[in-house]
Structure 1
């Protein structure tokens, strides 16, 4: 069973507003010289417990 959800491009996203990593999108660092070496990313998330 395929699940389909509508996609919101960054150009239409009211949260990030095309700010890229400066606005909070995940920034990644290459772990080697090839993609197969992998990447490391850090993401900070805040949750409103009353939402």
Structure 2
């Protein structure tokens, strides 16, 4: 499990962040409108461990 978390954390440095547009009500994602985010937010190993602890506490 920890190995999988490390791989996914490292992929945040490689795969660019993006989002799909939503319909006018804001409920349904539209699959034809995708845009990359201007600000990329990779997760560090330390942040991954802290987020894991936050998830366990919640």
Structure 2 length-normalised TM? 0.23
Structure 1 or 2: larger strand share?
2
Higher RCO (C-alpha 8 Å, min separation 6): 2
Structure 1 or 2: larger helix share?
2
Structure 1 length-normalised TM? 0.24
